[in-house]
Structure 1
Amino acid sequence: MKQLIMIGKGGHSKVIRDIILAQGEYQLVGYLDNAIESYYEQDDLFFDNLNNINKYSSDHFFIIAIGNNHVREKIVLKYGLNIEQFATLIHPSAIISPFSSIGRGTVVMPLVVINADTRIGNHAIVNSGAVVEHDNVIEDYVHISPGALLAGGVTVGELAHVAIGSNVLPQVKIGSNSIVGAGATVIEDVPSEQTVIGTPAKPKE
């Protein structure tokens, strides 16, 4: 079984650990986190500082178990691992079209639906119960939060965050580094670097 190291040891990592166990493709062998001061072992796992990642990079796969989009990007850029060294983790309860594609370092949580001809980029998160309909483009480092519903033909730019329980209508484009607030209904395009809230979604004052 392929050996996997988790980067990050917060609450998000607990859910990803469950996905690793359920998927059965990888064996979790340890954690790397900057909050860990020195190497130790516990419960058949090792724990080490993230700055020691080069000790493990030649013979392990990795997943970044951090919900913050910008932190995931920062880690990828700082440590320079090959994209092929990152796992793609999909919970068995997710329904994934065979005509969709999902990038490296991306995590698909329980009960997600991803439909035909949708492309999910690298290091994205599609969180529990989200629905990503046909012909969507979800770019790198995006977070689609629990219960979000994206209709057909939606585009979500790099580093954008679609928050919990939000709805995005067909053909809408959400710009890079933008935020769709919790429970919002997006009926028109959202420019990059903008936060929208409410129903219908409007720029946050």
Structure 2
Amino acid sequence: MPSSVKPLIFLGAGGHAKVLLAMARLLQFEVTGVCCPLLSGDRERTWNGIAVLGGDEQLERLNPETCLLVNAVGFMPGNQLRHQLFCNAKSKGFNFASLIHPYAFVDSNSFLGEGCQVMAGAVIQVNASIADNSIVNSNATIEHDCSIGLSNHIAPGATLCGEVVTGSQVFIGANATLIQQVIVKSGAVIAAGALVLRDVEAGSVHGRKSGRSGGHNETK
């Protein structure tokens, strides 16, 4: 475990959690438990070699001074759970670890907030800023001077050109491309593979060709 770092407790045990666990182990963190309602029925159970502590109610029994949390719940459009877990735990005094894969590039003059997760192959360039609880997924690129808001998910292969600004809880789908200086307002969804040439309004979906909008306003 890196020196002077507290053990990690995972919140969530899905697919995103598996990737984060592999990364935490690669970085030699100690992961001592996982909280997940779906696993909480059997307290003797382990998940990928880690003790199952119970559901989210276990936060009431944990000491914020002795551990760091990892928000291992993924963020998909229309799902507020990841953001809610982060805010709830912060209100109880917990802090979140940021995890950066050793094969990611994060410029020394960029800024990462608390609880950020930067996956393998991701690039974060000079003067870019990533707010708390955001995911920069595998092979995504955040170019110079971008400002990424709270609880965003930049999905695998997405490219944000220079000076892009996003609000809170924005989802940018796999292989989407946002040109320079585009503004994406809070709660917006950029569909996989979309090309974004202009600003995107709050709560709207940009680039969706078919399927349900999931409660968002749809744009093209």
Query: When the two structures are superposed, what TM-score results if normalisation uses the length of structure 1?
Result: 0.91
Rounded to whole Å, the distance in 2 between the matches of 1:150 and 1:76 is 25
Partner of 1:61: 68
What residue ranges of structure 2 are gaps of 5+ in the alignment? Answer: 210-217
1:11 is matched by which residue type in structure 2? G
Measured after TM superposition, the shift of residue 176 of structure 1 is 0.4
User: Is residue 99 from structure 1 mapped to residue 102 from structure 2 by the alignment?
Assistant: no
Q: Partners in 1 of 2:42 and 2:55 — Cα distance?
A: 6
Q: Say if 2:46 is the partner of 1:46.
A: no
Secondary structure of the corresponding residue to residue 7 of structure 2: strand
Mapped to 2, the partners of 1:34 and 1:198 lie a distance apart of 32
Tell me by how many angstroms 1:74 deviates.
Answer: 1.2
Matches within 5 A, 1:1-205: 1=1, 2-24=6-28, 26-35=29-38, 36-42=40-46, 45-47=50-52, 48-58=54-64, 59-68=66-75, 70-79=80-89, 80-82=91-93, 85-197=95-207, 203-204=218-219
Equivalent residues of 1:3, 1:28 under 8 A apart: yes
Q: How many Å separate the matches in 1 of 2:36 and 2:69?
A: 12
Contact 1:183 1:198 in 2 (8 A): no
Hey, what does 2:213 align to over in structure 1?
none
**Secondary structure of 2:30's match?**
strand
State the partner residue of 2:212. none
1:140-161 per-residue CA deviation (whole Å, 9 max, x = no partner) reads 1000000000000000110000
Using the aligned pairs only, state the percent identity.
Answer: 28
Could you list the structure 1 runs, at least 4 aligned residues long, displaced by more than 4 angstroms after superposition. none
Q: How far has the Cα of 1:175 moved from its partner?
A: 0.6
CA apart distance, 1:41: 4.8
Aligned-partner SS, 1:6: strand
**What is the aligned-residue RMSD (CA, Å)?**
1.8
Q: Is the 8 A contact 1:7 1:63 kept in 2?
A: yes
Question: In 2, distance between residues paired with 1:125 and 1:94?
Answer: 13
Note the alpha carbon deviations across 1:118-142, whole angstroms, 9 max, x for none.
Answer: 1101110000000000000001100
Which amino acid in structure 1 is aligned with residue 68 of structure 2?
A: F
Q: Which runs of 5+ in 1 are unaligned?
A: none
Report the Cα offset of residue 78 of structure 1.
3.0
Instruction: Measure, in 1, the Cα distance between the counterparts of 2:175 and 2:137.
Output: 11
